[in-house]
Amino acid sequence: MADELVTFLRDRLEEDDETARKATVRRRGGEAWSYDPPAVRAQSGMVIAERIVPVLGEHIAGHDPARALAEVEAKRRIIRAHDKWCQGECEAEYPDGGFDAAYYWSIKSLAAAYGDHPAYREEWRP
Q: Confidence class of residue 12 from pLDDT cuts 50, 70 and 90?
A: very high
Residue 80 domain boundaries: 2-124
Mean pLDDT of the chain: 84
pLDDT computed for residue 97 by the predictor:
55
Q: What percent of the chain has pLDDT over 70?
A: 79
Cβ pair 16, 68 in contact under 8 A: yes
Nearest to 111 by CA among 2, 23, 22: 2
Q: How many whole angstroms separate alpha carbon 83 and alpha carbon 79?
A: 6
Paired residues of 35 in beta bridges: 40
Residue 80, pLDDT above cutoff 70: yes
Task: Classify 12 as helix, strand or coil.
Answer: helix
| Residues linked to residue 64 through DSSP beta bridges, in sequence order | none
The pLDDT of 21-33, averaged and rounded, is 72
Average confidence (pLDDT) over 100-124: 87
Q: What is the pLDDT of residue 96?
A: 53
Q: What is the pLDDT of residue 93?
A: 47
Q: What is the DSSP letter of 75?
A: H
Quote the strand ranges of the chain, DSSP E: 33-36, 39-42, 47-49
pLDDT digits 0-9 by tens, 29-79: 567 899 999 999 988 888 999 999 999 999 999 999 888 999 999 999 988
At 91, is the pLDDT very low, low, confident or very high (cuts 50, 70, 90)? low
For the chain, how many structural domains are there in total?
Answer: 1
